[in-house]
Amino acid sequence: MREYIVEMNHIVKSFGEVRAVRNGEFTLRKGEVHSLIGENGTGKSTMMKLLYGMYPIDSGEIIINGEKIEKLDPKSAIAHGVGMVHQEFMLVNDLTVLENVILGFEPKKGLTIDFEKARKDIQHFIDRYQMDIQLDKKVSQISVGEAQRVEIIKTLMRGVDIIILDEPTAVLTPQETRKLFEILANLKAEGKSLVFISHKLNEVMEISDRISVMRQGQYMGTVDKDKTSPLELTKMMIGREVFLNIDKTYSKVGGKVLEVKDIWVSSLKETSKIRGMSLHVNEGEIVGIAGIDGNGQSELIEAITGLRKVEKGSVILNGQDITNKKPRAIRETGLAHIPENRNTRGLNHTMSIEDNLIAVEIDKEPYTKGIMMNVDASSKYAEEMVKQFDIRPTDYKLPTSALSGGNAQKVVVAREVSMNKKLLIASQPTRGVDIGAIETIRNTLEIAKKKGTGVLLVSAELEEIISLSDRIIVIHEGRITGELAANEANENNLGLLMMGGEDELEKGETES
């Protein structure tokens, strides 16, 4: 038997001026989990999209099962047994899960789609991998964890035995990640080969057999999991060590910038309905919201930012009642917002990096004077942001669609933080960014706080909440179950409150 079922040798790939992959090397063994790691924009997604036939390679060779493949597109990649679960979800929101899974591969009965057969086929996979998926829900109604499982089912249904997972855990809660890892272990046990891309070294160390590192389009080497350490991997990725410790300053907190008073908000999901929540954020402090995803955090943020109706109660920003005002009016009252989903709410991918950076301020000075756009001011600002946040590539005239996932995230963060508003809502601010960028973004939030901004931070990473926040508010099923000062908080007491607190647990025990 051949040692490798996939070999990618001396791969080169450019997009216009941008050399995405200079010298890419990658091999895959049958039945292994091979992780691909490296900084943002280093060519990981590109390498795997080449293997999946999404773009042609400029030079080099791709060998699958011993056969050198001359022409590859997603259809033929699937025929060769290669499937890919993408970094940015590609599901259609208005369709049901079932419709999404069969999209493009509908089983036909005569001229009509055979939904009965489709349902049976899919159910077979759902049972086999013990996935928790509701086929008749619309995609807009399911959690990101479930959407991730849908993407995996979709790929498995194509009958592939090589599965590429591009940052599958970036959007998952720790609980959902556990579930995903069980599914991956099952797949591996069946002899499937998995490629896993992630910025989370603890995950990489947990599930990999081998790990390959890329740096700026260049292959840096492959190591056995058992013979390496996170420290060595970090050095291979960046060439230095990174310490994610924030020197937290307890600055003087000022008056209230945000007051949420007993709000009630409805939601399609039972656990996400907000049932009477009150909280406040002061000037110069970071308040973290901890909770298991789907317990009302998105609804809370949408209610504050004007994207969802507040049924009862009120929201006060900078002393003004902004309850149920239009999002734009709320922004102008003093709100900046890093949204949880950069693709639907954060960026307009048809516009350039520069225009995205100034998008919300485009009709104000200094970018517009009278009716004239001030082109110099805007370019100068874009240049500064690109430098400060290390956005790569640095050509700010490129559309954001040309950016890697992590670099796109940096654009959103740069724009919102630099507006210097009174209140900054940061939802999952470091989602999908590499360890160096996590350091930059976390320090930026700390600096904003020192300047007097009140920050409301929502993050699925408990460690991030603990290390950044001054106060932590824990929510469960749309209610606040506790509040802790950051120096009293740890994963245990937060975890307990996230499950509903002691009362809930006792209730659960007597019930069962």
Rule CB under 5 A: is residue 407 a binding residue for Mg ion?
Answer: no
The CB-nearest residue to ligand ATP is 406
Residue 214's H or E segment, with its range, is: strand 210-215
DSSP per residue over 259-275, as a string? Answer: EEEEEEE--SSGGG-EE
Nearer to Mg ion, 39 or 293 (CB): 39
Cα dist from 393 to 41, 102, 214, 263, 406, whole Å = 8, 37, 16, 43, 12
CB-based burial label for 226 (10 Å; 0-12, 13-18, 19+) = exposed
Nearer to Mg ion, 21 or 466 (CB): 21
Among ligand ATP, Mg ion, none, the one that 250 touches (CB under a kind-dependent 5 to 8 A) is none
First and final C-alpha spacing in the chain: 53
Among ligand ATP, Mg ion, none, the one that 43 touches (CB under a kind-dependent 5 to 8 A) is ligand ATP
The CB-nearest residue to Mg ion is 45
User: Looking up tokens 């000022």, which residue turns up?
Assistant: 254
In contact, 399 and 15? CB cutoff 8 Å: no
Rule CB under 6 A: is residue 42 a binding residue for ligand ATP?
Answer: yes
In contact, 308 and 478? CB cutoff 8 Å: no
DSSP, collapsed to helix, strand or coil, labels residue 53 as coil
Judged by CB under 5 A, the stretch of 2-10, 39-47, 232-240, 368-376 that binds Mg ion is 39-47
What 8-state DSSP symbol labels residue 344? I
Rule CB under 6 A: is residue 18 a binding residue for ligand ATP?
Answer: yes
In contact, 29 and 193? CB cutoff 8 Å: yes
Among Mg ion, ligand ATP, none, the one that 40 touches (CB under a kind-dependent 5 to 8 A) is ligand ATP
Nearer to Mg ion, 306 or 405 (CB): 405
Among ligand ATP, Mg ion, none, the one that 42 touches (CB under a kind-dependent 5 to 8 A) is ligand ATP
Q: Which of 5, 33, 44, 237 binds ligand ATP (CB under 6 A)?
A: 44
DSSP per residue over 359-423, as a string? Answer: GGGTTSTTTEETTEE-HHHHHHHHHHHHHHTT-SS--TTSBGGGS-HHHHHHHHHHHHHHT--SE
Nearest by Cα to 104 from 85, 118, 116, 94: 118
The verdict on whether omega for the bond into residue 56 sits within 30 degrees of 0, i.e. cis, is: no
Cα dist from 403 to 18, 28, 220, 378, 454, whole Å = 10, 27, 22, 20, 30
Alpha helix segments (H runs only) across 90-223: 97-102, 115-128, 144-157, 174-189, 201-207
| Size of interface with Mg ion, in residues (CB under 5 A) | 4
Q: What are phi and psi of 351, to 5 degrees?
A: -100, 165
Rule CB under 6 A: is residue 410 a binding residue for ligand ATP?
Answer: no
Distance of alpha carbon 175 from alpha carbon 145, whole angstroms: 9
Judged by CB under 5 A, the stretch of 24-32, 83-91, 208-216, 458-466 that binds Mg ion is 83-91
- In the shown chain, the binding pattern of residues 69 to 108 toward ligand ATP, with x for contact by CB under 6 A and - for none, equals ------------------x---------------------
- Minimum CB–partner distance for residue 333 and ligand ATP (Å): 33
Q: What are phi and psi of 143, to 5 degrees?
A: -75, 165
CB-based burial label for 122 (10 Å; 0-12, 13-18, 19+) = buried
Q: Which of 25, 33, 37, 45 binds Mg ion (CB under 5 A)?
A: 45
SS3 per residue for 347-373: CCCCCEHHHHHHHHHCCCCCCEECCEE
Nearer to ligand ATP, 112 or 202 (CB): 202
- Minimum CB–partner distance for residue 271 and ligand ATP (Å): 31
User: Looking up tokens 């920050």, which residue turns up?
Assistant: 455
Rule CB under 6 A: is residue 393 a binding residue for ligand ATP?
Answer: yes
- Minimum CB–partner distance for residue 367 and ligand ATP (Å): 25
Rule CB under 6 A: is residue 215 a binding residue for ligand ATP?
Answer: no
Nearer to Mg ion, 24 or 405 (CB): 405
Nearer to ligand ATP, 237 or 489 (CB): 237
Q: Which of 246, 402, 496, 499 binds ligand ATP (CB under 6 A)?
A: 402
Rule CB under 6 A: is residue 392 a binding residue for ligand ATP?
Answer: yes
Rule CB under 6 A: is residue 430 a binding residue for ligand ATP?
Answer: no
Radius of gyration, alpha carbons of the chain: 24
Among Mg ion, ligand ATP, none, the one that 46 touches (CB under a kind-dependent 5 to 8 A) is ligand ATP
CA atoms in the 13 A half-sphere facing the CB of 398: 20
Nearer to ligand ATP, 13 or 331 (CB): 13
Distance of alpha carbon 388 from alpha carbon 386, whole angstroms: 6
Q: Which of 5, 8, 11, 20 binds ligand ATP (CB under 6 A)?
A: 20
Q: Which of 405, 429, 478, 482 binds Mg ion (CB under 5 A)?
A: 405
| Size of interface with ligand ATP, in residues (CB under 6 A) | 20
Among Mg ion, ligand ATP, none, the one that 392 touches (CB under a kind-dependent 5 to 8 A) is ligand ATP
Nearer to Mg ion, 40 or 418 (CB): 40
Rule CB under 6 A: is residue 45 a binding residue for ligand ATP?
Answer: yes
- Minimum CB–partner distance for residue 14 and ligand ATP (Å): 8
- Minimum CB–partner distance for residue 43 and ligand ATP (Å): 4
**Which residues bind to Mg ion, rule: CB under 5 A?**
45, 87, 404-405
**Which residues bind to ligand ATP, rule: CB under 6 A?**
15, 18, 20, 38, 40-46, 87, 392-393, 402-407
